Amino acid sequence: MLESLQRLGRKGLAFFQRLGRGHILLWDILAGLSSLLPRPHLVIVQVYSVGVLSLLIILVSGLFVGMVLGLQGYNTLVNFGAEESLGTVVALSLVRELGPVVTALLFAGRAGSALTAEIGLMKATEQLSAMEMMAVDPVKRTLAPRFMAGFISMPLLAAIFSAVGVLGGYFVGVGLLGVDEGAYWSQMQDNVDIYDDIQNGVIKSLVFGFVVSWIAIFEGYDCIPTSEGVSRATTRTVVHSALAILGLDFILTALMFGD
């Protein structure tokens, strides 16, 4: 009994210590962002590896999600004779929810895990330590550009995901199922609001980009510097990011569309 209480206490303490270290690291990263201003190429290189290299998975997934939305939306709407509204259904589902959420989940799996593994291995092979000894702050030189790149890339990837998804819905709805082309686009134009829908979607993707980059970088930086430690940290990045994305999505949706 006493032992299990002790174990619980130790786990609780370890949890809060990690939480504290995570916040201290986030603070250091945010404080280090200003040092990137004179050296934008550090961020650009990372935008390439975090963002551009994630494009393929985002494009393909966006296309299929849009096509599925087109098919499912049509099958339901046609019962009410409302298949003309397919454009609205596809666009709103993508811009408000699926775009930011699915992109963030894919981003965590593709880019987040890569970030964690890269930083974890840099730690395990003493590269971060060597930077410190060369009087180069690894948080400013290595972590801050990666964080910034994740934060910038996520909303762009989500926008691309939604755009490709709308096209996927168009191919299925208009191309295969015979929805009127003019109705598909005009209904979309009428019913998607720049503030209520698009802006809220962008806010979501910014929040997810922030959180996923933070989790991925922290897990890499805080990992036990062995192969097992790095592999565990990589798994944790994906699991924690997915949970954080879905939890935050509910909170953000409630705040944005709750009334």
Partner 1 sequence: MTDNDTSLVQIRDLHFSRGNHMIFDGVDLEIRRGRITAIMGPSGTGKTTLLRLIGGQLKPQTGSVVVDGEEVNTLRLGPLYQLRKRMGMLFQNGALLTDMNVFDNIAYPLREHTRMSESLIRTLVLMKLEAVGLRGARNLMPSELSGGMARRVALARAIALDPMMMMYDEPFTGQDPISMGVLVRLIRTLNDALGLTSIIVSHDIAETCAIADDIYLLSGGKVVAHGTAEELDHSDSAWAQQFLKGEPDGPVPFHYPAPDYFDDLMSMQEAGR
Instruction: Closer to partner 1 by CB, 126 or 193: give it.
Output: 126
Instruction: Verify binding: residue 125, partner 1, rule CB under 8 A.
Output: yes
Contact between residue 77 and residue 181 where contact means Cβ atoms under 8 Å apart: no
Among candidate residues 120, 61, 46, 110, the one with its CA nearest the CA of residue 242: 110
* Whole-number Cα distances in Å, 157 to 47, 57, 222: 11, 10, 27
Instruction: Verify binding: residue 53, partner 1, rule CB under 8 A.
Output: no
Contact between residue 91 and residue 192 where contact means Cβ atoms under 8 Å apart: yes
The DSSP secondary-structure symbol of 139 reads: I
The rounded Cα 236 to chain-centroid distance in angstroms is: 15
# residues near partner 1 by CB under 8 A: 14
Instruction: Verify binding: residue 135, partner 1, rule CB under 8 A.
Output: yes
Kindly report the backbone phi and psi dihedral angles of residue 165, in degrees, each rounded to the nearest multiple of 5, phi listed first: -60, -40
Query: Which of these ranges, 126-134, 153-161, 168-176, 214-222, lies near partner 1 under the rule CB under 8 A?
Result: 126-134
Q: How far is the CB of 142 from partner 1 (least distance, A)?
A: 9
Q: How far is the CB of 124 from partner 1 (least distance, A)?
A: 10
Contact between residue 69 and residue 98 where contact means Cβ atoms under 8 Å apart: yes
Instruction: Verify binding: residue 127, partner 1, rule CB under 8 A.
Output: yes
Binding letters toward partner 1, positions 140-169, x by CB under 8 A: -x----------------------------
Query: Which of these ranges, 120-128, 146-154, 186-194, 235-243, lies near partner 1 under the rule CB under 8 A?
Result: 120-128
Instruction: Verify binding: residue 129, partner 1, rule CB under 8 A.
Output: yes
- Burial of residue 247, with CB atoms counted within 10 A of its CB: 0-12 exposed, 13-18 middle, 19 or more buried: exposed
Which of 8, 10, 30, 126 is the binder for partner 1 (CB under 8 A)?
Answer: 126
Query: Which of these ranges, 84-92, 131-139, 146-154, 173-181, lies near partner 1 under the rule CB under 8 A?
Result: 131-139
* Whole-number Cα distances in Å, 206 to 99, 109, 154, 213, 249: 12, 17, 7, 11, 12
For CA atoms 132, 136, 140, 143, the dihedral sign is: negative
Query: Which of these ranges, 52-60, 118-126, 162-170, 175-183, lies near partner 1 under the rule CB under 8 A?
Result: 118-126
Which of 84, 137, 180, 249 is the binder for partner 1 (CB under 8 A)?
Answer: 137
Instruction: Closer to partner 1 by CB, 43 or 101: give it.
Output: 43
Q: Which residues have C-beta within 8 Å of that of residue 187, sequence separation ≥ 6? A: 84, 85, 86, 87, 88
Q: How far is the CB of 39 from partner 1 (least distance, A)?
A: 10
Query: Which of these ranges, 18-26, 30-38, 129-137, 244-252, lies near partner 1 under the rule CB under 8 A?
Result: 129-137
Interaction site with partner 1 (CB under 8 A): 122, 125-127, 129-137, 141
